[in-house]
Amino acid sequence: MKTRHLLPCAAAALLAVGCASSGKPKVSSGGTDNWYAVAAIQTPFYRYGPQQGYGPDMQLPHDSIMQVIQPSFGYVKVKLQDGESGYVASEDIRPAPPTLVAEKLAPPPDLTTPIVASHSEEGEQFGLDSNDPRLIAPPEPLPEMTPATDFRYEPAPLPDN
């Protein structure tokens, strides 16, 4: 009686194991928090699809972030940080860590206040005017001209007939 129930349980277990997801992260389209990054050193980016005849349009460097629009066979359609969409190999991207996304999406630093270089050492400082002709370097001297060797024109002797 026990062996009769063992066969259906084993079949159910095999079915459950076979349907389990693999260790590879799933690429899914989704919300605005679904950022992916280039895991390879660089990956080719195709604007119109991976089968376009003239090769990739550009190479995306490591840790470039993007959002997945639509997964497809071997390649995923992505939207880059600048809004451009295209295709990259699904094996070359991984879910982006939140720190990388925060770093890439952070606004540029405020540069409204100019950064002024200062000289912290005490010492003599000179006010130089770059338009002062005394500060222009003198031209390089011309090379010494050696007199030409004495050249005499003599016709070649005529051949004997």
Q: Is the pLDDT of residue 146 over 50?
A: yes
Using the structure block, give the residue that is written with the tokens 């376009």.
Answer: 52
Q: Is the pLDDT of residue 44 over 80?
A: yes
pLDDT of residue 24: 42
Residue 135's pLDDT band (boundaries 50, 70, 90)? Answer: confident
Q: Tell me: the pLDDT tens digits for 74-112?
A: 899 999 989 999 999 999 999 999 999 888 888 877 767
Annotated domain spans of the chain: 22-104
Q: What is the 3-state secondary structure (H, E, C) of 108-137?
A: CCCCCCCCCCCCCCCCCCCCCCCCCHHHCC
* Alpha-carbon span 126 to 133, nearest angstrom: 16
* Size of the chain, expressed as the number of residues it contains: 161
Question: Distance of CA 99 to CAs 1, 105, 113, Å?
Answer: 58, 10, 28
Residue 10's pLDDT band (boundaries 50, 70, 90)? Answer: low
Buried b (16+ CB within 10 A) or exposed e, 99-135: eebeeeeeeeeeeeeeeeeeeeeeeeeeeeeeeeeee
Q: Does CATH place domain 22-104 in 2.40.440.10?
A: no
Of 19-28, 69-78, 95-104, 135-144, the poorest mean pLDDT is in: 19-28
Q: Is the pLDDT of residue 23 over 50?
A: no
pTM across the whole model: 0.49
